[in-house]
Structure 1
Amino acid sequence: MVAKTLFGFEEILAKELRDLGAQKVVVGNRMVSFYGDTGFMYKANLCLRTAIKILKPVTSRKIKNENELYDFIQSIRWNDYMTVDDTFAVYATVNSDLFNHSKFIALKTKDAIVDRFRKEKGRRPNVDLSFPDLSVDVHIQRDLCTVSLDSSGGSLHLRGYRTNTNIAPINEVLAAGLLLLSGWEGQSDFLDPMCGSGTIPIEAAMIACNIPANLNRKEFAFERWLDWDMDLFEKIEEACLNKTRNFSHSIIGMDKAPSVVRKAKTNIENANLSDFIKVKEQNFFESEKETEGPLHILFNPPYDERLEINVPEFYGNIGDTLKRGYPGTNAWFVTGNLEALKHVGLRPSRKIKVFNGKLESRLLKYEMYAGSKKAKYQREE
């Protein structure tokens, strides 16, 4: 099988898969391949935090032109995967000098599937791009065409808990990946000082408590497959829930806008995490650390892409607030405005390249010492 992911998350996803029990895990470009049975496919969709889709390959063949593509697709026993009364959709990606247009590949694939059913059944299944019974994925790399079934359906970042959003909400898979890249495992108190609709605190709580990432999702595509095994899925879901753990620290979300705080609270309630996350109305630039122990901060400040801000002043205030109010803290934030980093006034100890959609971004770590950095080293000696 193949799990698709975002740039920079491949190694994290591979670790997730190994921890779940996947076999023969191989890291690729924005994807990780692995072996597992049907039950593991269910578990991967339910539990993986950094996967966008889980594809189940059907077959592959080398092809050189559209006629060979058509013959290849028509040779597949499609009635093993759907009936003539089911709906389907085809999605294609192409990286080849032989083929130029993914939409044409999808159309040719659709024609081949329809024509096979016409020959066998005398009628054809219908296409439904919005909510198909079967999603077919066609990937052409040079001359190799791989046909897979999309077991997830809609992207796995659609967890199911976020019903209220603000301008420029962070993708749930991106939020989970950033948290894992930052080393978050639930080992301390946590703060998102610009929490928006609450995605980062929610993902932080789910990691801390080992709650399956897609527990709140309404449906997966495999639930419409001919071999759907509800009893097996329910056993796997129960086993995963039995592995949840207690969390003894605090997770705080903060935002200065009352309407934003209300939306965050609604999403947290939807995720059934109100016992673990508190959200308060407060301006980060007027705040300070409230606990004496270690504090893990991760946030997604505005980039000036869809939210207009005075970049030098805003990012300068981020640095000033961290220096003044948050000693003894590992502070992480992600930004797609690389010029803005010049105004923070702090030197990051780590920079990690990531993408927020198509926007190249950086995840940065700032180690805020209690007292001077020199004094810290003297105390350790």
Structure 2
Amino acid sequence: MQLLIKTFHGLEGVLAEELKGLGASDVKELKRAVSCTGDKELMYKANLHLRTALRVLVPIANFTATSEDELYNEIKKLDWSEYMSTKSTFAIDAVAFSEIFKHSKFLALKTKDAIVDQFRDKTGIRPSVKVEDPDLQINVHVAKDQFTISLDSSGESLHRRGYRDPNHKAPLNEVLAAGMLKIAKWHKEIPLIDPMCGTGTILMEAAMMACNMPPAFKRKKIGFMNWADFDKILWNKIYTEAENQIHFPRVKIVGGDNNPQAVDIAKKTSLDFRLNRMISIVRSDMKEHMPHAPRGMMITNPPYGERLKKDDLNGFYKSIGSHLKKNYHNWQAWMITSNTEALKHVGLRPQHKHTLFNGPLECKFVGYDMFEGEMKEFKQKVNRSRKTAQN
């Protein structure tokens, strides 16, 4: 079985490693996606375990089309009775990168027409379109004149773990937060702080990673459960194995925010997932939040000046840099922002740089290795330590 797993730009390498860990074969990094081969068990595991995946697609056809008639005919050639019946509901998600086919809604409409007409011609009855929670979600992707038709085994996007309040503004996508933790190479033995945690997305993703809780563990429904060939026995086996691997280690995950409503939401969220023993959240200003261990990692998502407005944003970023330099010796500090101008005012030279996207915003995810004194002294100290280790 060929699988195509969607993700965000910049997370392809992280997702590829996750897939290899699940036993996938022929893993290849693509643009905002990773392809691989595997069986039904891998597809089920991918939907349950992948932290940096948005959707797990199963391609069923590839073809070339240069007109709407060609598109219609190619779709109608496929035997849709293999995947659905006249009693099934379906929905179409179309993505277009083409000068010929510019409008995704038009693509979805033509695909729908071809499927419905095929059933009507054969049986006199047509299946129904249902946008919310359909029995079958179909993905149509076109690049120039090259089409890929896939079945969406995930249904609802996998970033929806079930813990975030959708009404809170300026959220950080769960998949992006998990990707940031993996890029930074955080693990449960490293104390973690997010001093601007909002409703706690980074904290929740870290705690779920630390206790080996699958990201889709709380989801009651995944797309493939509606498929005619759904193997409930296999799924229950995979889910039970994952459940038995969950444990709650001692870990230091700390968050803070100056918004009392956000802090309350974050606390409730951790309680709902039984992660409140692992996560400590307080109401505090970023500049008041001090490290709780001699060494550790800080990862945060400060205001960009986009959705959240902040007076003197450059001055705020400067205060972040001053606070880090003064109080976070021997820590590694990471932040993500789309405001590259404000980032310059942090006043520190990042040792790690990555380009990621938070929604439509191109962002820089940067890491700083914090130390006491001047950079020259720090490098000399590191070199001496290396020589001692070699001897």
TM class by smaller structure: over 0.9
- Residue 99 of structure 2 is aligned to residue 121 of structure 1: no
Cα shift at 1:119: 1.6
Structure 1 Cα separation of the partners of residues 278 and 100 of structure 2: 53
Aligned: 1:199 with 2:193: no
- How big is each residue's C-alpha offset from its partner over 1:160-217, in whole Å with a ceiling of 9 and x where there is no partner? 1213653201010111111111111223111111110010001011222222111122
Tell me, yes or no, if the aligned pair for 1:39 and 1:232 is still in contact at 8 Å. yes
2:57 maps to 1:51:
no
The match for 1:181 is 183
- Is 1:67–2:69 an aligned residue pair? yes
Distance 1:228 1:278 in 2: 40
Instruction: Indicate yes or no: 2:305 matched with 1:304.
Output: yes
Work out the CA distance in 1 between the residues paired with 2:174 and 2:275: 15
Kept in 1, the 8 Å contact 2:153–2:223? The answer is yes
Counterpart of 1:318, as a letter, is I
* SS of residue in 1 equivalent to 2:254: strand
The code of the aligned residue for 1:79 comes to S
Give the superposition deviation at 1:375. 4.1
1:29 to 28, 31, 35: 31
Aligned 8 A contact 2:256 2:289 in 1: no
Q: Which residue of 1 aligns with 2:174?
A: 172
Residue pairs, 1:334-349, within 5 angstroms: 334-349=336-351
Could you tell me how far 1:58 is from its partner in structure 2? 1.2
Deviation per CA, 1:307-351, whole angstroms, max 9, x where unpaired?
111212211110111112211110001011111012112111122
Note the C-alpha offset of 1:133: 1.1
1:274: which partner in 2?
276
Contact 2:302–2:337 (CA under 8 A) maintained in structure 1: yes
Q: By how many angstroms is 1:376 displaced?
A: 3.8
Any conservation in 2 of the 1:354–1:363 contact (CA below 8 Å)? yes
* Shift in CA distance, 324/114, structure 1 to aligned 2, threshold 3 Å: same
Give the number of equivalent residue pairs: 380
User: Contact conserved, 2:193 with 2:291, CA < 8 A, in 1?
Assistant: no
Q: Which residue of 1 aligns with 2:215?
A: 213
Q: How does 1:9-158 map to 2 (within 5 A)?
A: 9-158=11-160
Rounded to whole Å, the distance in 2 between the matches of 1:145 and 1:361 is: 30
Q: Which amino acid aligns with 1:316?
A: K
Classify the secondary structure of the residue corresponding to 1:236.
helix
With normalisation by structure 1, the TM-score equals 0.95
Secondary structure of the residue that 1:153 maps to in structure 2? Answer: coil
Q: d(CA) in 1 for partners of 2:199 and 2:38?
A: 35
SS in 1 for 2:317: helix
Q: CA deviation at 1:378?
A: 4.4
Q: Which residue of 2 aligns with 1:295?
A: 296
Q: SS at the partner of 1:135?
A: strand
Point out where structure 2 has 5 or more consecutive residues left out of the alignment: 385-391
Partner of residue 387, structure 2: none
Q: Residue 258 and residue 101 in structure 1: after superposition, are their counterparts in 2 closer, same or farther (change >3 A)? A: closer
The answer to whether the 8 Å contact 1:209/1:245 transfers is yes
Question: Which deviations, in whole Å up to 9, do the C-alpha atoms of 1:114-168 show, x marking residues without a partner?
Answer: 1111122211111111221111111122332221101111211111121365320
Could you tell me the percent identity over the aligned residues? 44
Q: Is the 8 Å Cα contact of residues 255 and 281 (structure 1) preserved in structure 2? A: yes
Report the alpha carbon displacement of residue 7 of structure 1 after superposing the two structures with TM. 0.5
SS in 2 for 1:89: strand
Partner of 1:259: 261
Distance 2:293 2:96 in 1: 52
Distance, in Å, in 2 between the alignment partners of 1:194 and 1:56 is: 38
Q: Secondary structure at the match of 2:350?
A: coil
> In 1, Cα distance between the equivalents of 2:314 and 2:66?
54
Match of 2:239, SS state, is helix
Distance in 1 between the 2:138 and 2:130 partners? 12
Q: CA deviation at 1:240?
A: 2.2
| Partner AA of 1:12 in structure 2 | V
Contact 1:164 1:266 in 2 (8 A): no
Contact 2:196 2:256 in 1 (8 A): yes
The offset of 1:246, in angstroms, is: 4.9
Per the normalisation by structure 2, the TM-score is 0.93
Could you tell me how far 1:373 is from its partner in structure 2? 3.9
